[in-house]
Amino acid sequence: MHIPLLTEANDHNGDVTFVATVLSFVVIYLYYFKADPKKRKFLPIWVRPEIKAELTKFAYYRKLDAKHKSRFEKRVQRFIHEKQFISKAYTHVNLEMKVMIAASAIQLTFGFKHLNFSHFGKILIYKDPYFSRITRKYHKGEVNPNGIIVFSWLNFIEGYSEANDGVNLGLHEMAHALHLENAIDNDEFDFIEKGALKRFYQLAEIEARAIKQHESTFFRSYAAVNMHEFFAVAVENFFERPLGFQGHNPELYHTMTILLKQDPIKLFGLKKPVI
Ligand SMILES: [Zn+2]
């Protein structure tokens, strides 16, 4: 009589194991496809080693500790997975281009947990500044409200090779995209703290006036064109010259740390040089 009981118990355990296995597959399936339900493309849980290798060229990533590096890598892989990269000059978009562009987006949004520029599905890459038939001018980059971010690759690279001059095309265009993403009513909307954004505009107006009147030279004059450009130029300086920015306008710098939920000075333990 004991044998059937044992058998029943084994059968029961077998059912539990079977259900657990099926559930595990469902969970893994949902995890894989959650990020890109339309394309049903495979998003690996583990970051591809070649992406990590490319990231070692990216200064911001190199300065992070191990825990933050791991988070950065995952977000870069997800960005690459979700965006369509289109070359307008090269035979194809190589991994270096994808990783560097994705890293620039993640650098800007690293303070936000899940932000991934959902309005922007396409990244267009030219080699040099390209001629726009709309403005009838040459552009190094632009952000199209239809969901396209455009770069001249050589100018993108130049932005990161000169790391402390406050000029960075990648961060500049990503800042425009972020600004726009915040205003577009979608699943990523209104994520920038309203009070801080209002204060930013007030301080930016004062700063822009000073630029126009040649009373302030910390930000390049292009920042004074409008508030969109001011935000983009402020972002470039926030990451490339954080100590100088803080010294020039401490309240504006502090407001940027609230807007972007990160502080490069604290993140990298920067200290003012002793004079
Ligand atoms: Zn701009």
pLDDT for residue 253: 98
Span from the CA of 173 to the centroid of ligand 1 (angstroms): 6
Span from the CA of 98 to the centroid of ligand 1 (angstroms): 21
pLDDT for residue 88: 93
Span from the CA of 15 to the centroid of ligand 1 (angstroms): 60
Span from the CA of 274 to the centroid of ligand 1 (angstroms): 35
- pLDDT above 90 covers a percentage of the chain that reads 72
35-44, 96-105, 188-197: range with lowest mean pLDDT: 35-44
pLDDT at 7 over 70: no
Yes or no: domain 192-275 corresponds to CATH 3.40.50.970: no
pLDDT for residue 123: 97
pLDDT tens digits for 190-249? 788 899 999 999 999 999 999 999 999 999 999 999 999 999 999 999 999 999 999 999
pLDDT for residue 177: 96
What number is the average pLDDT over the span 94-100? 97
State whether the Cα torsion 95-93-162-61 is positive or negative: negative
pLDDT tier, 130 (very low <50, low <70, confident <90, very high otherwise)? very high
Q: Where are the domains of the chain?
A: 48-189, 192-275
| Separation between Cα atoms, residue 125 and residue 151, nearest integer Å | 5
Span from the CA of 187 to the centroid of ligand 1 (angstroms): 24
Yes or no: domain 48-189 corresponds to CATH 1.10.472.150: yes
pLDDT at 6 over 70: no
Span from the CA of 229 to the centroid of ligand 1 (angstroms): 5
pLDDT tier, 1 (very low <50, low <70, confident <90, very high otherwise)? very low
- Residues 6 or more apart whose CB falls under 8 angstroms from that of 93 comprise 85, 86, 87, 125
Identify which of 186, 171, 176 has the alpha carbon closest to the alpha carbon of residue 118.
186
Span from the CA of 169 to the centroid of ligand 1 (angstroms): 9
Q: Which two tokens stand for residue 225?
A: 């064109």
Residue 39 has phi, psi (to 5 degrees) of -85, -20
Identify which of 163, 159, 161, 182 has the alpha carbon closest to the alpha carbon of residue 171.
159
